[in-house]
Amino acid sequence: MERIGVLGAGVMGAGIAQVLALAGHEVVCADIDQAALNKGEEAVVGGRFGLSSAVSRGLRSQEEADAARTRISFWVGIDAMTEADLVIEAVPERLELKIEVFKELDRITRPTTILASNSSGLPITALAGATSRGPRVIGWHWASPAPVMGLAEIVRTAWTSDETVETVTRLARAAGKNPIVVKDQPRSWGYVANRVYAAMGSEARQVVAEGVATAEEVDQLMIDCFRWPAGPFGMGGGARSGWN
| Strand order across the 86-89 sheet | 72-76, 26-31, 3-7, 86-89, 114-117, 137-141, 151-156, 178-183
Tell me how far CA of residue 235 lies from CA of 1, 93, 147, 200, in angstroms. Answer: 34, 18, 17, 11
Catalytic residue among 117, 119, 120, 144: 120
Catalytic residue among 2, 26, 89, 153: 153
Distance CA 164, CA 236 (A): 31
Distance CA 124, CA 134 (A): 10
Q: Are 136 and 167 in contact (CB under 8 A)?
A: no
Distance CA 84, CA 23 (A): 16
Catalytic site residue 141?
yes
Distance CA 244, CA 239 (A): 9
Catalytic site residue 25?
no
Catalytic residue among 141, 178, 188, 217: 141
232, β-bridge pairs: none
Distance CA 92, CA 95 (A): 9
Catalytic residue among 166, 194, 203, 241: 194
Catalytic site residue 194?
yes
Q: Are 239 and 118 in contact (CB under 8 A)?
A: no
Catalytic site residue 56?
no
Q: Are 136 and 101 in contact (CB under 8 A)?
A: no
Active-site residue set? 120, 141, 153, 194
